[in-house]
Amino acid sequence: MLQLISWLVLAAIHAMPALAFFRPATLTTMYGIESANPLFLLMQHRAALFVAVFLMCLWAAFDEGPRRAATFVVAISMLSFLALYFLNGSPKALKTIATVDLIGLPFLAFVAWKSFFT
């Protein structure tokens, strides 16, 4: 049961940025990027990748088969952002995202342990 909950928490962490793929206006709300900005398209593509992370988490929540791969995907998503965030001076505008990813790390550690060591 704890593993299911952990995967669902990880899915929830990635749900909001994934939503921006289906509701592009969310990009303006979340990141302040207007649709006329060329970065808007790049951020929309990034949102599509978050859809993939979100779906991997959901799949792993209910099926043991993809759990190892899903662990890698989620770890790359969360740890790369946190590394970039801290290496670039912890920009205040991204603090909420970093905080959410930090909150998710114990859940990621738990599913990694369950996926690889039990």
Residue-level pLDDT at 31: 84
Residue-level pLDDT at 74: 98
User: Nearest to residue 70, comparing CAs of 22, 111, 36, 117?
Assistant: 111
Q: What is the CB neighbour count within 10 angstroms for residue 96?
A: 10
Burial 72-88 (b: 16+ CB within 10 A, else e): ebbeebbeeebeebeee
Query: What are the pLDDT tens digits along the chain (118 aa)?
Result: 999 999 999 999 999 999 999 999 988 888 888 999 999 999 999 999 999 999 999 999 999 999 999 999 999 999 999 999 999 999 998 999 999 999 999 999 999 999 999 8
Q: Which two three-digit tokens encode residue 55?
A: 């779906």
